Amino acid sequence: MLRTHTCGDLRAAHLDQTVTLAGWVQNRRDHGGIIFIDLRDRAGITQITFDPDICGPAVHDLANKLRSEWVLQISGAVRSRGDKTNPNLATGAIEVFATALTVLNKAETPPFEIDEHAKVGEEVRLKYRFLDLRRPAMQRNLILRHQAVKLARDYFDANGFIEIETPILCKHTPGGARNYLVPSRVHPGSFYALAESPQLFKQLLMVSGYDRYVQIARCFRDEDLRQDRQPEFTQIDLEMSFIDMDDIMTIGEGLVRGLWKKLMNHELPPLRRMTYAEAMASYGSDKPDLRFAMPIVDLSDWAKDCGFSVFQSAVAATDRPSHAGRGVVRALNAKGANEQLSRRTLDQLTEFAKGLGAKGLAWIKVAAGAEGKLDWQGPAAKNISDAAREALRVRLDVAAGDVLFFGADVEKTVCSVLGALRVELGVNRLGLAKPNDWQFLWVHSAPLFEWSEEAQQFVAVHHPFTAPYAEDIDRIQTDRGHVRSKSYDMVLNGCEIGGGSIRIHDAETQGKVFAALGISAEDAQRKFGFLLHALSFGAPPHGGMAFGLDRLIMLMAGAESIRDVVAFPKTQRARDEMLDCPTPAGDRQLKELHLVTAAPIQAKA
């Protein structure tokens, strides 16, 4: 060992001991005679003092040459700092008076400073990720991630789960995310797909009788990146047999309760449960942010006679095909937001709504008027009759200072516009979401199918192996849009952090669902034959879920992006800035893989 202690260990209890530390030069303060070095390792920072009277001229001369990020080994005695204690350091009560100094390695001047204060752009951080990861904030995030994974493994082990690895090289499955493909050398013209999730394997493991499976599983999806999406990401993936929805939810809930208790020092109440229908109606979203109220209220019946033709015509239209959704008028009340929402801001919000597919955004600013009456302001306000205003006042709990927003369109559009507006207002404009407020809930029983305008047919909301409610099975033939699925998503502060379903375990139901999705028996055999085959050999009732580990850690760490909780993430165009990857393959590699590329080879700059 090159050290006796870490840079975070030493306290007053170690006074007068001779110790050896190793680490990086965080900072150097040279007073001409006495020199201070802050020595850093991942455990913390310790002040090293080079006093020429104690360390001697040779060591002092060397200390004079030290620079940021050099790697040192120092030995010396632990001394009290007396009244010079630094309250900002865990080791602030002591310092080490060096008597020996070894430079283990020199360092180039880093492109950015390795400390908490330095603001650095992501492009540079990613290029020098190995330096970025030296920063305490990143080290905290990765250590938190380690602790969470460790707790998860312990939790599932204690609950009888078995961790089983499944293939990453597997078969392309139609539908769902675009797969990364890997060409086969030994099978010319054929490709593996990188697993987008272990979904089918874990169902097969249930057929095999493993009963309770868990895996910290790497998944791959070739889709465009986001703040919370990387091309490779990690799921805490689980599956159970002989259970129903409630059992999975109990297990999933236990995991986050344990994580929050042990790592966030926060006791979670039992998770609230809400049906998908309720979430969409009241919050316009399948992942409502419950850190603030601002519910969406349906005013479709009110709109018929309100006097405002835009609203009246929105609910009057009856000639639409049923799957397009009915016309509705809904509203939300930004209580007391009048002062904060200027005319300019309202214009921005209107643009925001249009960007989400709204034709416009009707709003009403409510101010205190004469004689204790309310003064209704805004383009929509003047057309609304007095009686309708009074009804609005009651139904939206309107008081002076409120701002009302209306959506009038087909239900789907109104939900997505008002749902997004609600979050924009609550989180970004009005600051109603407080830090360290953890609003978990389950959103369950989503529809099994939804109409796809693009495909002009019903498609699976979740995936085609999701089980319908038994009492809804007949509707697969008669009322496809209203078949409820045994599905559940765990939502935290408006972010979907996990989800799953009970699976279909009998071939007959599976056949009905495939048929409803327009998948013929032959297609089903070709694409999922292995699964159907397995289901015919005594598949137990089963179901499961998966947590998005990266998102979970991002929220726990208070990070802005999952890139801050992934050691080596990719950029928005799925590049690795540090490796300069991907790169063109060589002719020899391509030949071995029986490939020719159609893309022009980019000349490297």
Partner RNA sequence: GGCCUGGUAGCUCAGUUGGUUAGAGCGCAGCCCUGUCACGGCUGAGGUCGUGGGUUCAAGUCCCAUCCAGGUCGCCA
Contact by Cβ (8 Å): 400, 376 = no
Structure tokens at 125: 């951080």
Query: If we measure between CA atoms, which residue out of 340, 331, 315, 389 comes closest to residue 363?
Result: 331
Q: Does 526 bind RNA (CB under 7 A)?
A: no
Interface residue with RNA, options 144, 194, 243, 420 (CB under 7 A): 420
For RNA, which is the closer residue by CB, 282 or 413?
413
Residues of this chain, 439-468, that bind RNA according to CB under 7 A = 454, 459-464
- Taking CB under 7 A as the binding criterion, the range among 1-9, 117-125, 268-276, 531-539 that sits at the site for RNA is 117-125
Q: Is residue 132 near RNA by the rule CB under 7 A? A: no
Least distance in angstroms from the C-beta of 101 to RNA: 16
Q: What is the nearest approach in angstroms of RNA to the Cβ of residue 583? A: 13
If phi > 0 it is left, if psi is from -120 to 50 it is alpha, else beta; for residue 432 that is alpha
Q: In whole angstroms, give the CA distance from residue 453 to residue 451.
A: 6
DSSP 8-state code for residue 14 = G
- Interaction with RNA in 394-413: which residues (CB under 7 A)? none
Q: Binding pattern to RNA, positions 169-208, x when CB under 7 A? A: ----x-xxxx-----------------xx-xx--------
Between 462 and 480, whose beta carbon lies closer to RNA?
Answer: 462
- How many Å apart are CA 465 and CA 514, to the nearest integer? 9
Site for RNA contains 112 (CB under 7 A): yes
Closer residue to RNA, CB minimum distance, 211 or 450? 450
Question: C-beta of 399: minimal distance to RNA in Å?
Answer: 31
Residue written as token pair 């998908």: 276
Q: Which of 227/477 has CB closer to RNA?
A: 227
Closer CB to RNA, residue 174 or residue 188? 174
Find the DSSP H helices in 276-398. Answer: 276-283, 300-303, 309-316, 343-355, 386-395
Least Cβ distance, residue 487 to RNA (angstroms): 10
User: CB-wise, 109 or 456, nearer to RNA?
Assistant: 109
- Structural element, H or E, at residue 534: helix 521-535
Which one of 1, 57, 105, 121 is in contact with RNA (CB under 7 A)?
121
Among 115, 163, 278, 523, binds RNA (CB under 7 A): 115
122 is a contact residue toward RNA (CB under 7 A): yes
Q: How many Å apart are CA 367 and CA 401, to the nearest integer?
A: 5
CA distance 238 to 488: 14
Residue 119 is a binding residue for RNA (CB under 7 A): yes
> Is residue 323 near RNA by the rule CB under 7 A?
no
Helices and strands, counts by H and E, the chain: 17, 23
Least distance to RNA, CB of residue 500, Å = 11
Touching RNA, residues 205-244 (CB under 7 A) = 221, 223-227, 229
CA atoms of 204 and 504, how far apart (whole Å)? 12
Tell me which stretch binds RNA (CB under 7 A): 168-176, 179-187, 257-265, 302-310: 168-176
**What is the token pair recorded at 50?**
């080079």
Q: Considering the rule CB under 7 A, would residue 124 count as an interface residue with RNA?
A: yes
User: Rule CB under 7 A: which of 48-107 touch RNA?
Assistant: 49, 51-53, 67-68, 81, 84-86, 88-89, 92, 95
For the CB of residue 561, give the shortest distance to RNA in the complex, in Å.
5
CA angle, corner 162, sides to 156 and 164, nearest 5? 120
Contact between 361 and 421 (Cβ < 8 Å): yes
Q: CA 175 to CA 193: how far, in whole Å?
A: 13
Cβ atoms of 168 and 217 closer than 8 Å: no
Task: State which residue, 315 or 531, has the beta carbon closest to RNA.
Answer: 531
Query: Closest separation between CB of residue 472 and RNA, Å?
Result: 17
Exposure class string for 530-563: b at 16+ Cβ within 10 A, else e: ebbebbeeebebbbbbbbbbbbbbbbbbebebbb
- Choosing from 56, 111, 336, 529, the residue that interacts with RNA (CB under 7 A) is 111
Site for RNA in 539-568 (CB under 7 A): 561, 563
| Cβ contact 241:546 at 8 Å | no
Residue 515 is a binding residue for RNA (CB under 7 A): no
Q: How many residues bind RNA (CB under 7 A)?
A: 72
